[in-house]
Amino acid sequence: MPITQDDVSAALAGESEEVPGNYSDRDSLLYAVAIGMGKDPLDSKELEYVCETLGNRVVPSAASVLTRASRSGANPVRDLTSKMNYVMLLHGEQRLTVHQPLPPAANTLISNRVTGVYDKGEGKGALVTSETLVKLDDGSPLYTVGSTMFYRGDGGFGGSADGAPVPHPIPDREPDVVCELSQRDDQAMVYALCGDRNPLHRDPGIAKQAGFDMPILHGLCSYGIACHAVLKTMCDYDQTRMKSFDVRFSAPVFPGETHLVEMWQDGDVVSFRTRIKERDIIAINNGRCQLDAS
């Protein structure tokens, strides 16, 4: 059954229960390997992210997989989206605000809220924006992750399209720097172990049913690869400098493709996008990374 304006109103007014969560250093170490770090076993800066005897750094974008609740609770995001057409779902945007550097392992408190539902019209779909706030168990904010999900089959419920997120503009000049990161053919197999077991990314039969010649890479893995590039190029691998990391997904990526992350720096803002070298397409666009002011 399609969603109604009453469903939307209830979701926007709903309060999420704060529930306990946790992650271990195994999770944060695996994530760094899954996005391509540690391929050079003598790279001392990357080893601080993948070998606990050499460092305890965590890639900020790992927040996208470390938000794991120990139990379910009242959740207006889940209540609304469970009524929507999952088959027609596309991940449109991902946002991250880092309140303090992520520890390698932590016990957490997690809450979710719907921040907007935008009706693009009958046959045009609907956008749902949401945020998840993660705190340490002492109550101090750790990070906030946000997303825009495009439900292509759920437009026309009588809502407004006004106020939807506006993409960050990419500067109209040549990139200041480009970081080239080659990837592994089996990368989706590794990234799936971070928690996203969607067979679209590993099962060729499922991928063909979805219209792809082969399984596609997880969008959030491409997100992590872009974060790796900015961390390497603009922060000299100092993750404490990264305060936010936002992207818009624009095209599918296949495992093993080469990511060219194009970057522009204007003060403490890095604009970026990811171009796939083999096909010359933009896979991630309108990227914005806020650095500290140092």
pLDDT per position as a tens digit, 158-170: 999 999 999 999 9
| 201 catalytically annotated | yes
| pLDDT range class, residue 118, cuts 50, 70, 90 | very high
| pLDDT range class, residue 28, cuts 50, 70, 90 | very high
Q: Are strands 259-266 and 281-291 parallel, antiparallel or unpaired?
A: unpaired
Fold match, 5-151 / 177-291: yes
Domains of the chain, residue spans: 5-151, 177-291
pLDDT per position as a tens digit, 163-209: 999 999 999 999 999 999 999 999 999 999 999 998 999 999 999 99
| pLDDT top residue among 245 and 16 | 245
What does the pLDDT read at residue 235? 97
pLDDT per position as a tens digit, 214-250: 999 999 999 999 999 999 999 999 999 999 999 999 9
Active-site residue among 7, 25, 79, 196?
Answer: 196
- Give the separation between CA 155 and CA 60, rounded to whole angstroms: 34
pLDDT at 1 over 70: no
What percent of the chain shows pLDDT beyond 90? 91
Could you tell me if 77 and 145 are in contact, meaning their C-beta atoms sit under 8 angstroms apart? no
Active-site residue among 27, 201, 218, 246?
Answer: 201
> What tokens were used for 286?
């309108």
User: Is 26 buried (19+), middle (13-18) or exposed (0-12) by CB count in 10 A?
Assistant: exposed
Superfamily of chain region 177-291: Hotdog Thioesterase (3.10.129.10)
The DSSP bridge partners found for residue 128 are 117, 149
What does the pLDDT read at residue 294? 65
> Alpha carbon 186 to chain centroid distance?
20
What's the pTM value of the predicted model, to 2 decimals? 0.95
- What is the CATH code for 5-151? 3.10.129.10
What does the pLDDT read at residue 185? 96
